[in-house]
Amino acid sequence: MTTVEKHIRLSAERADRLSRLARTHGLREDQVLEKALDILFSLTDLFDERSERQGWSFLSEDSLWRVWNNQADAVYDRWMERKQCNGLKSAITW
């Protein structure tokens, strides 16, 4: 794996907490940061997938509404309703 050196600025409190966390777990500070970034990136991926699914769902809903809510579909729906009513009347007269 290729490594890149980055310089970051932290508040004194966060830097101290990072140092304590690394010592507690027997890690270097950069290893703690790398694990934290992995967690952050996983959450970002999860949120991105969720947003993408919501976006597709929203687009699909709008598209379906246009397909199913039109004059030709209304004619078909009325025809089916009459057909079902006639079928029900036939079943009752048996």
Q: For residue 84, is it within any domain?
A: no
Contacts of 67 (CB under 8 A, 6+ apart): 73
- What domain count does the chain have? 1
Q: For residue 35, is it within any domain?
A: yes
Q: For residue 74, is it within any domain?
A: no
- pLDDT single digits (tens) 2-22: 988 989 899 999 999 999 999
Residue numbers of the domain that contains 25 = 12-69
SS3 per residue for the chain: CCCCCCCCCCCHHHHHHHHHHHHHHCCCHHHHHHHHHHHHHHHHHHHHHHHHHHHHHHHHHHHHHHHHCCHHHHHHHHHHHHHHHHHHHHHHHC
Residue 94 pLDDT more than 80? no
Q: For residue 2, is it within any domain?
A: no
- pLDDT single digits (tens) 52-61: 777 667 666 6
Q: For residue 83, is it within any domain?
A: no
Q: For residue 23, is it within any domain?
A: yes
**78 falls in which pLDDT band (50, 70, 90)?**
confident
Tell me what the pLDDT averaged over the chain comes to.
80
Q: For residue 77, is it within any domain?
A: no
Q: For residue 91, is it within any domain?
A: no
